[in-house]
Amino acid sequence: MTKAAIIMGSKSDMEIMNNTSEVLNKMGIAHEVLIMSAHRTPEKVQDFCASAREKGFELVIAGAGAAAHLPGVIASWTTLPVIGVPIPSSELNGVDSLYAIVQMPAGIPVATVAIGVAGAKNAGYLAAQILGLKYPEIAQAYDNYRNELKGN
């Protein structure tokens, strides 16, 4: 059963978002990687969100650059947890993406991580923390990872 979706607005975001996929694999979290744009294919985003829960998704990780509306649009169409990853794809090096993702109106939250690779990785680790509340094997994988960081 799929537990997470990684969504990005374009193929050019793949270089950053592959880091999220690597972390989810390390944590034993099943996931799908999808490309859809809040601006170019809004109907596709809406259709995904309308059926995501029924298809077994439990959270969404969305990477977006520049205007960075994708995580917020997804959050507006689903009540699943959404984690936004700001992609440094413009002249502003991701600061514009960060502001667009983090400044959501009250009631439509998007958990937002750091800009770029560190954020993409942390999105995967945050997903492990969230899913670990329900799945002991994911909680254990994340605990093991944290212990590795300590050198234990």
Six token digits for residue 2: 């799929």
State yes or no: 143 annotated in a binding site: no
Question: CB-based contacts of 152: which residues, under 8 Å, 6+ apart?
Answer: none
Q: Which residue type, as a one-letter code, is found at position 51? A: S
Q: Which residue type, as a one-letter code, is found at position 145? A: Y
84 touches 102 (CB < 8 A) = yes
Q: Which residue has the tokens 């090096």?
A: 93
Give the CB-side neighbour count of residue 115, counting CA atoms within 13 A. Answer: 15
State yes or no: 10 annotated in a binding site: yes
Q: Point out the annotated binding site.
A: 10, 13, 40
Q: Point out the annotated binding site for substrate.
A: 10, 13, 40
